[in-house]
Chain A
Amino acid sequence: MFRAVLGWLRSTAAYVVGSPITLGLVAVAGLSGAGAGVPAGQKLYDYMWRDPVFCGDCHIHDYANIAWERSVHAQLTTCHDCHRVPIRHYPRNLVMAVFARPHTPEEVPSAHVGAVLCEQCHAVEGMEEELTGPMPEELRGAVTKIDQSPLHRVHLDAESRTPTRYHGGREPSSPPEPHPAGGHGEGEQHAIACLDCHGGQDLEVHTFEASARDCVACHQGITPEDERGASLSCLDCHGRGFVGSQPERTE
């Protein structure tokens, strides 16, 4: 079989080289085909790089996909904007999708999302990072930056995951474990990760809005009440301290 193919290739090459008309026609046809393949190639590239369906072929965690679709990130970001995975991930997942397709979310390994990927869009500090995902630079510039807001700053600069006793910290009891997917970029040493408050664990993943429930995980026993005893949400009073700002364009 191999010899037959090799023989056919040799005789065909000799024929094409020996006939300038054939050589020209084959070259023109090949180049035309290459041109004709560009639109299809562009569609395939967009599908792999920008379409969540591509990831969803293996990542069958519907709860996460639905939460993402309902979040503010839907239509603005793609999976690849936040999930920075090495390229060995793709052939491995291709084999997995064909031969060992996962049937439950538990069979899909947890994703690692570095804080640096949140900061790339949501912090002034992160604007220096090279944008390597599919998101356009103009969109990143339009995103509100939170790292200059007073209460985000306090959390980003915190050296401990346990608040002071005055702020509801219950030392020496240990605070909640860090979010499993809330790691940091290389060399960063934040004690508190973005996803501790904005990711939600397990079935709450992709729920980016922080709520009072995220606060009381660390700030315990200080559930606020108004003067009439009605319960308040932490963010009723402290929300303004977290509000970000639109940076001035520097370029």
Chain B
Amino acid sequence: MNRPDWPRTLRLAALAFVLGMAATGLGGSNLAFLWVAYKHGGL
């Protein structure tokens, strides 16, 4: 088992946090909006 390179690990964790937040904040809301708008008005 490799010992973690802690600075690199923490940078990656911070990046994962930001990406996760963007995925639900921007991606999720846009997908949800497009889905209800599609059901409402079609393509």
Contact = CB atoms under 8 A, between A and B. Distances in A.
B12 A12 contact: yes
A34 B26 contact: no
A45 B35 CA distance: 11
A134 B25 CA distance: 20
Interface residues of B, number: 36
Given A30-B17, A132-B36, A22 B22 contact: no
Contacts of A30: 16-17, 19-20
B4 A19 contact: yes
Contact of A37 (B21, B34, B39): B21
B13 A29 contact: yes
Interface stretch (A84-92, A153-161, A195-203, A243-251): A84-92
A41 B28 contact: yes
Contacts of B39: 132
B25 A41 contact: yes
Contacts of B20: 29-37
A44 B43 contact: no
A175 interface: no
B22 to A, nearest CB: 7
A16 B1 CA distance: 12
Contacts of B18: 33
A133 interface: yes
Ranked 10 nearest A-B pairs via Cβ: A33-B20, A37-B25, A37-B24, A33-B17, A37-B21, A29-B13, A34-B20, A41-B29, A30-B16, A33-B21
Interface of B: 1-5, 8-10, 12-14, 16-26, 28-30, 32-34, 36-43
9 contacts: A21-B4, A22-B8, A29-B20, A33-B21, A37-B26, A41-B29, A42-B29, A80-B37, A132-B39
